[in-house]
Structure 1
């Protein structure tokens, strides 16, 4: 009966994942140990969208349950809902109800597998979680929203490059809040530099490369990754004072 009982279309594991119950983690652990298949089972709580327990936990910002499920069933991080979304997409949507909890859940997912930042909804090109955050209209706290944006960008900065047209169009039509617009504008500048190999290798009057300048400006890790990936050899090029990019990084 425990295996097959449903509450509004949800299994007991879904129900425990959706509510911040006092002993939810213990309940989830017992259920997963007894019925491992529940982890990847879709619920039937709505007519048009079916979720796995990890999706539900991420959407509710239920970090203890997220940690429990991933500890016992790491593959759940790649489970798809009925519309092709992944847990990271639902973690992002938690910004509309529990902003700080959303930050912690995103951090946890990225610590388990940073590549989730590159997951696209239903295989739709450029439907990255980074874009989802930037265009969300009802984020309760944009301080938390910007923190999530930076986490996702640092994990997968290629999202800025691959979806450059989308981001520039969003800026043109004032679709982003000011803080997000300013951050995206700055990252597009670094992305433009990284896309020009000649520019990446060009030293200024002080012998400094764009990589030196980005490190001096304490650019996000994502921007540094783009510049280094463009030409890893720049890591070994000193400026006129003999400073390698690593020296600049160590001084900040």
Structure 2
């Protein structure tokens, strides 16, 4: 990636050396002229020009973010030619480098411009050392970009940070909206019964951070036995809710049950989209495991809580 200092040296003369270079397509020329209406019309009929670089390796997407094109034009370019986000100029600049310098207030755009190889490197690093993924970071109040990344990088929903938190824990802690919570649960269903290093399930986090009733209900429905689970300090989700003095509906939802209704079969086999692998759920105890249990006995039919 290019440093901000290197790019700042081009500020104020964006059309000097590069603009003088021969452009390879008419779309380049329209972008250099800031003719965004013309560029939008042309890219619809000449999509291939989005993937052509000029003599300096500059693609139309580089120019668009450099010249602060309307967000609608940039998004259209990415939708028509998503590979363009990974193209470098001959100086090694990604479109993202220019976007960070000239459009750094648009978090959604920055997320869409992240080069593919950089995403893969971040994902591998997260697996190796437990650092937070981009999805973790976006769950800290950047909910729209987090929603977009959850849809394109589902695997990150199953990664833990150094505290053992999933992106789901982070989203709940920061009162994320229901649609993001549902997307995280869909990407990684096993997240509902994942305990962090403090032994807290997502339902503990719900009770601790005053989430809305509809969010709490979604998390509880994903793992009903969580109301009976304690963290490393022996605390039930209900205990946190009582400290926060929420309404009676929440207290009632979090009241521990005498037992969990068993399923028709002892174990169910389920597919987890986020990790692209199967997990096993005991319908009597709600115990989950990634390894096939010794007493699984070929019960292939997935069944959750009766």
Query: What TM-score, normalized to structure 1?
Result: 0.50
Query: What TM-score, normalized to structure 2?
Result: 0.43
Bigger relative contact order, structure 1 or 2 (CA pairs below 8 A, ≥6 apart): 1
Structure of greater Rg: 2
